[in-house]
Structure 1
Amino acid sequence: MFYTATDGQGVMEPVVEGNRMLQIEGKTEELGDFSIKFPRAKNTKKSNYLRTYLPSLHIAKEVVLRSMKYYQFGQKHMLGLVGDILSQSQFSDYEPNLLVHQVTMALPFEIDIAFESGSYKDRTASLLGMDFTQYLNNYLSSFDNRFEHVFQLKQKGFKEKEINFAKATLSNLIGGIGYFHGKSIVKSKYTDEPVEYWEAPLYTAVPSRSFFPRGFLWDEGFHNLLISKWDPTISKEIIGHWLDLMNVEGWIPREQILGTEARAKVPAEFVVQYNENANPPTLFLPIQSLMTGMMTSNTAEDQTFLKLIFPRLKVWFNWFNTTQIGNVPTSYRWRGRDTETNKELNPKTLTSGLDDYPRASHPSDDERHIDLRCWMTLASGVMKDIAKTIGEPYKDYENTHSILSDNSLLDKIHWSNKGKQYSDYGNHTDHVMLERPPTPIPKQQKPGPKKQPVPKPNVPKPPMLRVIKSKNGPNYKFTNALGYVSLFPFLLQIIEPSSDKLGKILTDIKDSKLLWTKYGLRSLSKSDPLYSKYNTEHDPPYWRGQIWINMNYLAVRALYHYANVDGPHQQQAATTYKELRTNLINNIIKEYERSGYMWEQYNDLTGRGQGSHPFTGWSSLVILMMAENY
Structure 2
Amino acid sequence: MTLGWAVWLLGLCAVAVVTAATESNTSTVWGTYRPQLFFGLRPQVPRSLVTGLAWFSTVDYEHASVLRHSASDNEGIDSFKWLYHDGRNFGIQEITDRKYNYRLETSFVKAGHDHGRPGHWAVRVRGTVLDESQPAELSTFFYVGSENSEAAFTLQGEQLHGTDLGGFSVRTHEHLGQAPIKAFTAKRVPSDKVWRGTDHILGDMRPHLQAMARSQETWPPAAEAMQLTNSSEANANWYALQRTYRGNFTYDIMLDSALSDQDRWDSDAVTAALEQHKRAYDARFEQKFALSESFTPKQVAYAREIFAQLLGGIGYYHGTCLVDRRPAEDNGLVLHNMDDAQPQEEGPYSLLTATPSRTFFPRGFYWDEGFHLLQIGAWDAELSMELLESWTRLIDDNGWIAREQILGEEARSQVPGPFQTQYPLYANPPTLVWGLEAYVRALEAQLAAAQEGVEGVDGLAAPEADAAALSRMYGRLQALYEPWQRHYEWFRRTQRGQIRQWDRHATARHEGYRWRGRSYTHVLTSGLDDYPRAATPHVGELHADLHAWMGSFARSMQQLAQVLGHADDALDYGEQLEDIATNAVDLHWNEKEGLFCDLSVRSDDTSYFECHAGYVSLFPMMLRLLPADSAQLGASLRLLRDETQLWSPYGIRSLSQRHPLFGTDEDYWRGAIWLPINYLLLGALRHYATEPGAHAADARAAYVELRKNLVKTVLEVCATR
TM range (shorter): 0.7 to 0.9
Report the alpha carbon displacement of residue 475 of structure 1 after superposing the two structures with TM. 7.6
Asked whether the equivalents of residues 46 and 103 of structure 1 are also in contact (C-alpha less than 8 Å), the reply is yes
Distance 1:73 1:24 in 2: 36
Counterpart amino acid of residue 643 in structure 2: S
**Aligned equivalents of 1:387, 1:480: Cα separation in 2:** 36
Please point out which of 312, 331, 343 is paired with 1:194: 343
Which stretch of structure 1 is more off in the superposition, 373-382 or 294-303? 294-303
2:171 counterpart residue number = 36
RMSD: 2.7
1:172 paired residue number:
309
Deviation at 1:58, TM superposition (A): 4.5
Match of 1:154 in 2: 292
Q: For residue 683 of structure 2, what is the aligned residue in structure 1?
A: 557
Look up the match of 2:619.
488
Distance 1:413 1:66, change over 3 A: same
What's the secondary structure of 1:83's corresponding residue?
coil
Q: 1:116 corresponds to which letter in structure 2?
A: D
- Whole-Å separation in 2 of the counterparts to 1:85 and 1:362: 64
- Name 2:70's counterpart in structure 1: none
Displacement of 1:42 after TM fit? 4.3
Distance 1:145 1:496, change over 3 A: same
Correspondence for 1:625: none
Residue 83 in structure 1 maps to residue 228 in structure 2: yes
SS at match of 1:132: helix
Provide Cα deviations, 1:116-167, integer angstroms capped at 9, x if missing partner: 22333442x6331x32222222222221221112111124x21111111122
Does structure 2 conserve the Cα–Cα contact (< 8 Å) formed by 1:281 and 1:379? yes
Residue of 542, 562, 570 corresponding to 1:388: 562
Question: Equivalent residues in 2 for 1:258-273 (5 A)?
Answer: 258-273=407-422
Q: Rate the CA distance shift 1:480–1:45 in 2: closer, same or farther, 3 A.
A: same
Shift of 1:289: 2.5
The structure-2 alpha-carbon separation of the partners of 1:102 and 1:593, relative to structure 1 and needing over 3 Å to count, comes to: farther
Partner of 1:225: 374
**Deviation of 1:360 (Å):** 1.2
Partner of 1:622: none
1:340-395 residue CA offsets vs partner (Å, 9 max, x unmatched)? xxxxxx52111111111111111111000111111111111121222222122322
Gaps of 5+ in 2: 1-139, 329-340, 448-469, 500-509
Match of 1:515 in 2: 646
Partner of 1:163: 300
Aligned to 1:545: 671
What is the SS of the residue equivalent to 2:317? strand
Residue 272 of structure 1 aligns to a residue whose secondary structure is: coil
CA contact (8 A) 2:315 2:354 kept: yes
Q: Alignment partner of 2:608: what SS?
A: strand
Name the CA distance, whole Å, in 2 between partners of 1:333 and 1:533: 25
1:421 and 1:66 mapped to 2: Cα distance? 61
1:217 Cα offset (Å):
0.9
State the partner residue of 2:236. 95
- In structure 1, the residue matched to 2:502 is none
2:365 aligned with 1:216: yes
2:266 corresponds to which residue?
127
Q: 1:79 to 1:590 in 2, by over 3 A?
A: farther
Residue from 41, 49, 62 that aligns with 2:199 = 62
Per the TM alignment, residue 32 of structure 1 is displaced from its structure 2 partner at its CA by 2.3
Matched-pair contact (CA < 8 Å) for 2:645–2:657: yes
Q: Is 2:495 the partner of 1:316?
A: no
Deviation by residue 1:29-80 (Cα, 9 ceiling, x = unmatched): x252232324256455534434334331343223434545789999964486
Query: What residue number does 1:115 align with?
Result: 255
Which shifted more, 197-206 or 367-376? 197-206
Shift of 1:571: 1.9
Q: Match for residue 602 of structure 1? A: none
Structure 1 CA distance for aligned equivalents of residues 692 and 279 of structure 2: 42
- Pair 1:302-2:438 in alignment: no
Task: Give the secondary structure class of the aligned counterpart of 1:530.
Answer: coil
- The answer to whether the 8 A contact 1:361-1:427 is kept is no
The DSSP-based 3-state class of the residue aligned with 2:422 is: strand
In structure 2, the CA distance between the partners of 1:79 and 1:485, relative to structure 1 (3 Å rule), is farther
Question: How far does the alpha carbon of each residue in 1:496-519 deviate from its partner, in whole angstroms, 9 at most, with x for none?
Answer: 111222222222222222112222
- Which structure 2 residues correspond to residues 39-54 of structure 1 after superposition, within 5 A? 39-40=174-175, 42=177, 45-54=180-189
1:358 to 526, 532, 553: 532
Quickly say closer, same or farther: Cα 1:15–1:379, change in 2 above 3 A.
same
More displaced, 146-155 or 191-200?
Answer: 191-200
Q: CA–CA distance in 2 between the matches of 1:114 and 1:588?
A: 38
Q: Does the Cα contact within 8 Å between 2:184 and 2:228 map onto a contact in 1?
A: yes
Of the three residues 569, 574, 578, the one matched with 1:398 is 574
Return the letter of the residue paired with 2:703. Answer: Y
Change in CA separation of 1:49 and 1:585 when aligned onto 2, cut-off 3 Å:
farther
How far residue 405 of structure 1 moved from its aligned partner, in angstroms, is: 2.3
Give 1:335's aligned residue.
516
Q: Secondary structure at the match of 1:559?
A: helix
Distance of 2:146 and 2:484 partners within structure 1: 36
| Contact kept? 2:514, 2:542, Cα under 8 Å | yes
Q: Which range is displaced more, 76-85 or 578-587?
A: 76-85
The 8 Å contact of residues 51 and 84 in structure 1, kept in 2 or not, is answered as no
Residue type of the alignment partner of 1:46:
I
Matching of residues 608-623 of structure 1 within 5 Å: none
Residue 581 (str. 1) matches residue 707 (str. 2) = yes
Q: What TM-score does the superposition give when structure 1 sets the normalisation length?
A: 0.78
- Describe the SS at the equivalent of 1:111: strand
Q: Secondary structure at the match of 1:477?
A: strand
For residues 15 and 7 of structure 1, the distance between their equivalents in structure 2, rounded to whole angstroms, comes to: 22
Distance 2:667 2:224 in 1: 41
Shift of 1:319: 0.8
